[in-house]
Amino acid sequence: MTRPSPICIGCEKTPNELSEYSPEYTGEDLSPDDYVWKEEGTLNPRNGHFLCTPCYIAAGQPSSREGWYAP
């Protein structure tokens, strides 16, 4: 089963286009896509949607008791 390509639903950018997910910023030896799949708490694994930090803040920092995932 192939995983969907991650995309921020706020700015419509991929992890490769967002410096916060670059290995230079994260300090991890992972591609930006792999980093999002491993560490991004807003990632919806069914469709690859997530919110990058600025978009998460702009959305009002949504949360839920069950954990919040991008629609």
Instruction: Give pLDDT tens digits for 15-53.
Output: 999 999 999 999 999 999 999 999 999 999 999 999 999
Whether residue 50 lies inside any domain: the answer is yes
Domain that holds residue 29: 7-58
Whether residue 22 lies inside any domain: the answer is yes
Whether residue 40 lies inside any domain: the answer is yes
Residues 31-68 as b or e (16 or more Cβ within 10 Å = b): ebbebbbeebebbbeeebbbbbeebbeeeeeeeeeeeb
What's the structural domain count of the chain?
1
Q: What is the pTM of this model?
A: 0.91
Closest listed residue to residue 44, CA positions, set 20, 17, 64: 64
Average pLDDT over residues 51-71: 93
Residue 1 confidence (pLDDT):
65
Whether residue 66 lies inside any domain: the answer is no
42/53 Cα distance (integer angstroms): 10
Whether residue 1 lies inside any domain: the answer is no
Residue 31 confidence (pLDDT):
97
